[in-house]
Structure 1
Amino acid sequence: MPHKELPHSLKLITIWLLVTLVLFLGFQAWEHQRAASRFQLAGGAIVLSRGDDGHFHWPGRVGNVAVDFLVDTGATVTALPQGLAERAGLKPLGAVRTQTANGAARGFIARADITLDGGVRADQLTVTVLPDLAAPLLGMDVLGRLHFSQKPGQLRIEPSP
């Protein structure tokens, strides 16, 4: 029985799909490595490196939902986007009106168990939940319990003595 070859165009499409897949997987691995390198444990301290967006990010969890907190020393309380609060199963405890960098906002308060990589926890923390918040903000209600210092491009965090 004679061997039939694939049409030339199908071969080219297959090669391009494989090249695209390899490039995509390589980019994903590179992004994962970069994100992981922004968080380090150094002895008893946690060292966060500034992200490409100019902010410090601290990976953690709200309940069982993985999150990437934006460290916000200008925020009095920890604030969560409403979609994240819903995925974490947080229940509204009451309405709240607050001032954000973008002006006045309405949302609700809830209690959340916050776990941050490196072993920092805040159980049953009162958080503000806002419908239009772009990213979870880790506020001074948590950060104020810790000792932190900054040098160019790095935030070093240690438990308070």
Structure 2
Amino acid sequence: MRGLVALVFAIGFFATLLAQVASHSSGRAASQPPRVEVPKSGEADQLAESKTRNAPQFSSADGSVALDRAADGHFYAEVRINGNPIHMLVDTGATEIALSRDDARSAGLATSIAMPGVVGEGADGAVHGEFARLDRVELGPLSAEGLDAVVLSSGSQSLLGQSFLSKFASVQIEGDRMILR
């Protein structure tokens, strides 16, 4: 059963990763190296403002959380894991919460250096990482304790999966807005 959960998670993770790579590489010739842009003065403020705009809006009337679609077409949420803020991609296809190594460290989770354990199977083969248990996960008015998660040995984007999203009564996308109730 745990292997099936890990397989479903890995498929969701790699599908999301593939979509992100495709969105970043579309329109770029294969022979061109990727461009690295350093924010100019003032652009850093715009980036911070953009992150704030993509942060959840909370409705105190009904306890729902609304997330606006980001420019890359995905939904992101500012989640608190074990009391620490983590910027996460909302992935309705992921079975569990998946944390990057850096985000796991920020959340106070200890991991091994090598992370040799296989936690799933993806398009490129075995997905390495470690299983973890999160003390507390918070998004807006909802919090959950004792959730299972996976810490991935590679990758930088953490995913907010069904182990947390299933705590909401509904998850709906209305135009460019995701509503969690």
Q: TM-score, length-normalised on structure 1?
A: 0.72
The question of whether the paired residues in 2 share the 8 Å contact of 1:60 and 1:114 is answered with no
Q: Distance in 2 between matches of 1:101 and 1:144?
A: 26
More strand by share: 1
Q: Distance in 2 between matches of 1:27 and 1:112?
A: 35
Query: How far 1:27 moved relative to its partner?
Result: 2.4
Question: Judging changes above 3 Å, is the alpha-carbon distance between structure 1 residues 107 and 134 closer, same or farther for their aligned structure 2 residues?
Answer: same
Q: Distance in 2 between matches of 1:145 and 1:102?
A: 31
Unaligned runs of 5+ in 1: 1-22
Query: How far 1:124 moved relative to its partner?
Result: 2.1
What's the % identity of the aligned pairs?
29
Q: Distance in 2 between matches of 1:75 and 1:120?
A: 19
Describe the SS at the equivalent of 2:108.
Answer: coil
* Aligned residue in 2 for 1:27: 43
* Aligned residue in 2 for 1:156: 179
Alignment of 1:128-147 (within 5 A): 128-146=150-168, 147=170
Query: How far 1:114 moved relative to its partner?
Result: 4.0
* Aligned residue in 2 for 1:52: 71
Root mean square deviation, CA, Å: 2.4
Matched, 1:119 2:135: no
* Aligned residue in 1 for 2:108: 89
Amino acid at match of 1:115: V
Q: Distance in 1 between matches of 2:106 and 2:46?
A: 28
Query: How far 1:70 moved relative to its partner?
Result: 0.5
Q: TM-score, length-normalised on structure 2?
A: 0.65
Larger Rg: 1
Unaligned runs of 5+ in 2: 1-39
The one-character-per-residue Cα deviations of 1:67-125 (angstroms, maximum 9, x if unpaired) are 11100011011110122213322145994421346553011111113433412212221
The question of whether the paired residues in 2 share the 8 Å contact of 1:92 and 1:109 is answered with no
Q: Distance in 2 between matches of 1:103 and 1:155?
A: 32
Describe the SS at the equivalent of 1:75.
Answer: coil
